[in-house]
Structures are given as structure tokens and as C-alpha cells.
Amino acid sequence: MAILFYPEILVAIFLCLLFLCHLRCNKSRTITNWPVVGMLPGLLQNASNVHEYVTWLLKQNGGTFEFKGPWFTNMTFMVTSDHMNIHHMFSKNFSNYTKGQKFQEIFDVLGDGIFNSDSDSWTCQRKLLHTVLKDKKFKLFFEQFVKGKVEKSLIPVLDHVSSFGIEVDLQDIFQRFTFDTACLVVLGFDPNCLSIEFPDVSHAKAFDQLEECLLYRHIVPESCWKLQRWLQIGIEKKLSSAWKIFDQFIYKCISSRQEELSQSKAPKTEEENFDLLTAFGEQAEEIGGIIKSDKFLRDTALNLMVAGRDTISAGLTWLFWIVATHPHVEAKILEEIKEHLLDNGKSKDFNIDEIGKLVYLHGVICESLRLYPPVPFEHKCSVQFDILPSGHSIKPNTTMLCSLYSMGRMESIWGQDYMDFKPERWISERGRILHTPSFKFIAFNAGPRTCIGKDIAFIQLKIIASAIIWNYHVHVVEGHPVSPSISILLHMKHGLKVRISKRNV
């Protein structure tokens, strides 16, 4: 037990005692750099509202400030929402700002996947992902798959809850739907989480648990969570358990898929029997620098599922809350759907090109993502000394935390009406989608790491949103509290309780 005599562990124990005393005081938004404990007490005291708290601090400090952690804990980092700093780090001086070792330690569950990778490994994986996602076979499969899944899975559940007047958590529906779609697209397996029975699925719950536990590693000293991981207690014990459950699920899917493909003699069509993991396995042999193995497939699968499941479900949840609370927005979307997706008053078999004509819906989605980005913050780590456009000096190995949530609430970026929900800010006078630089609208990252799946995400969001809005009216349950959850993804803390009524169309 010699580990208990490390200075950082003693400090961590002291911090816990100090924080318990500090909680007796009234909450305050001010942040004080205390001797020994730094700014940690203020952060912990406002942890339940961390995104708004960080936004307030950034506004008070001109868009960038240095968070001083406790002594001996390696918890000091620079926080920014300055779009010129973002442009500098993500594009102009991209090579100097990597994910870094600290990010990889916090997100160790992601393994060596693309989100955790830097340098040659990242370059190879991005090239591989680009090759697969731009393939005609995948695009054809994806379009037909999403429409089919909406018709065969989502619509029957919404019909059921609307016909019985059932109060339902729309966030849970979206998470079940996107978990099913992510599993099917990535692994070739449909767990059928979304059905009128709303079954409990252990690996889906494990996926949620992983995300909740990972945020904990951001708001306590590294020594604390590493000690808990070593002792297998508290949050870290929950994380390890969830990790084990989900790994068992992924490896089983990989094994089953490989066996299925080895035994299949029938040739595959472009629409059938496609999954990203198989495509990745086939392409990996053709791209140098990637070692094909079950672990590579596991890491790839998990990274793709994080990208394809929770970002979409979180985006949909906030989008439908906004539509439900802005009747004029809902009315304009309905008019646009009627104009472009109907034939003699009936829904037609539309394609991607016709979905692209939903310009106002595109603006609604962008505006929702601006205010409620599914990934609320980004990590970077400096390699060499640098000076940001804001004038802040950055030492080597400095952790940079970029608040995407705060960026959507900055007058310097969006003007005085930054808190107004205005889809029109994304539409030109000629009725076309306006281009906004990615370093201002960073929901899909920026620079060389810009999300390759951005276009696919918009297609999926538009197909799902247009199908639901045209067929149903969503009523948020009166008095239901709406606030961001404390997680690495911007879910709703209490879900989105709604009643759904079918439209007479």
C-alpha cells in the first residue's frame, strides 16, 4: 500500500475533506485560486451546471482563461472559446496541437481508435475511413437503410405511444434507435433495442455508463481516479464493469460476423450484407500502417459507434425540444416538407438529392447544434511553445480545453442575438445554405480533423426529423425540467418527457 504515501494522494484526500467543508457555504459563481487546492473547489461546487459555469467564466475572462488545479495533481489547463484561438490550434498550427497522452489516458476505453490517435496512426485511419465512407456501395446502403429503419422500427413505436397516449422519454427512444442503427451499420448486428416493449439491453446500458464515468475523470485530480481504478472502487469500478460488458458484446459481434462471412457463398449486393467493420477489415490490408487484428476491429467499432450513436441521438433530442417549443419553426418545416417531399399530398420515395432541398430544416439543425453541440468540449495538447492569437503563452505539454458549448453563446462570434434561435442566420437571401467557417461553427470539429461523416450525419438527421415532424406533433410534458447532463456527450439530464399525437395528413 505504498501508493497511499504519494504526495498527490495525500493532497487528494485533503481536497475531499476541504470540499466537504466548502459545500456548507453558499454556492458562488466566482472562482478563487486557493493555496494548495487551486480552483478545484469552485469547479466541484458548480459541477452540476458545469457548461454554464465555464461559459460564464470565459465571458468574464475575454474568452480564454487558465484553470489552476491543486498542487501536485497535474490538473492545470487552458480553457478557450475564442474562435481565433480555435482556428489557430485546429488549422493554422494543427501539428502543434495533438490529442496527447493525457487525453489517451482519460479515454483509454477507446483504445487505439481514430479519436485517440495522432500522427501516422491517425493519418492511416482517416484515409481508411475516407475510402470506406465515400464508397458508392456505402452511400447507397446508408440511404436505404436509414429510411427502412425509420419505417420498420421508429414509426411503429411512435404509432404505439401516440395511439395509447403514453408519456414517453423521447431521448430514450432516440438513444435506442441510434444504438440499433450504429450496431447494424458498424457491426452488421441489430440488437433491437427499440420496440414497443422497450427491453432492457445490458450492452446498451454499459455504453451509457462508460460515457457517464469518463466525465468524472475531467473534474477530479488524475491521482484520485487512478487510485480508484487501482483499487477498483467507486466510479472506476463501474467503468471497468461497463467496459467488460461492452467488450464482450463487441468481440462476440466481430466473431459472429467473421464466421457468417466465411460460411456465406452467396454474392453480396450493394444494398445487403454491408457493414463498416467488414469494409474496414477488407480495406485495412490495402492501406499501409494498419495492423488488422480483432483489437483493431474492436477499437474501430467502438469509435465509430460513439460517433454514430450518441452524437446523433443527442442532436435529435435537443432538435425536437426546440421544435416543440417553437411552433413557428415547426410550421415552416412542415411547409418545406410539403413542397419538396410530397407527391399529390402523399409522401414519395425521396432520395438524398431531394432531402438536400430542405434548406430551412438544415438551418434548424445547424442552429440547434450551435446552441447544443453533442460534443460540448474538445481536448488538445501542445507539443511546443506557442502564443495564441489572444496573446496567451502556451508551454509544451499544456492541456487545452475548447468549449464548443460556450462558443455557441459568444456575442463576439454570433452577434447580439446569440441566444435567439434563428434558423435564418444559416440561409442566404437567395434561399441557399450559407457557409460558416468551421472554426466558428465547430460541432463537426475543424481543420484536418473535420468530421468525415458530416454529410452522412445531416442526411440521417433530416430523414428522421422530416419523418417524425410530418407524421406527429410532439408535446413536451408541462413542467418537465430541461438541462444538459453531466457527461462527455450533451444529453438531457432528465431525458425529454413528451406526449406524441398523430397528425391528420
DSSP assignment of 287-315:
STT----HHHHHHHHHHHHIIIIIHHHHH
Look at residue 20 in the predicted model and tell me its pLDDT.
Answer: 42
Instruction: Give 128-184 pLDDT, tens digit per residue.
Output: 888 888 777 777 778 888 888 999 999 999 999 999 989 999 999 999 999 999 888
* Residue 109: C-alpha distances to residues 113, 133, 176, 301, 457 (Å): 10, 24, 21, 12, 24
Location of C-alpha cell 461492452: 246
Q: What is the pLDDT of residues 344-356, one digit of tens each?
A: 555 655 667 778 8
Q: Specify the pLDDT at position 128.
A: 82
The predicted structure's pLDDT at residue 143? 81
Q: Is residue 61 exposed (0-12), middle (13-18) or buried (19+ Cβ within 10 Å)?
A: middle
Grid cell 459545500 — which residue? 23
CB 360 within 8 A of CB 428: no
Alpha carbon distance 372, 406 (integer Å): 10
25 in a labelled binding site? no
| Residues sharing a CB contact under 8 Å with residue 383, sequence separation 6 or more, in sequence order | 95, 96, 97, 98, 396, 397
The CB-side HSE value for 321 (13 A sphere, CA atoms) comes to 28
What is the CA angle 318-324-330, rounded to 5? Answer: 105
Q: How many domains does the chain have?
A: 1
Range of the domain at 203: 2-502
> What's residue 204's pLDDT?
83
Following CA atoms 451, 456, 457, 463 in sequence, which dihedral angle do they give, to the nearest 10 degrees?
170
Amino acid letter for position 413: I
Q: Cell numbers 452577434 correspond to what residue?
A: 415
Helix 170-187 to helix 136-149 angle (10° resolution) is: 150
Question: Model's pTM, two decimal places?
Answer: 0.87
- The CA distance from 80 to 409, in Å, is 13
Burial class (CB in 10 A: 0-12, 13-18, 19+), 93: middle
Q: What 8-state DSSP symbol labels residue 89?
A: I
Candidates 188, 178, 186; CA nearest to 153 is 178
Distances (CA, A) of 288 to 24, 284, 304: 58, 8, 21
How many Å apart are CA 35 and CA 65, to the nearest integer? Answer: 18
Domain CATH for 319: 1.10.630.10
Closest CA relative to residue 11, chosen from 41, 31, 37: 37
- Phi, psi angles (nearest 5°) of residue 480: -70, 125
pLDDT of residue 346: 57
**For the chain, which ranges sit under pLDDT 50?**
1-27, 270-271
Structural contact between residues 482 and 492, judged by C-beta atoms closer than 8 angstroms:
yes
d(CA 58, CA 382): 20
| Confidence (pLDDT) at 240 | 93
Beta strand pairing call for 97-98 and 346-347: unpaired
**CA 309, chain centre distance (Å):** 8
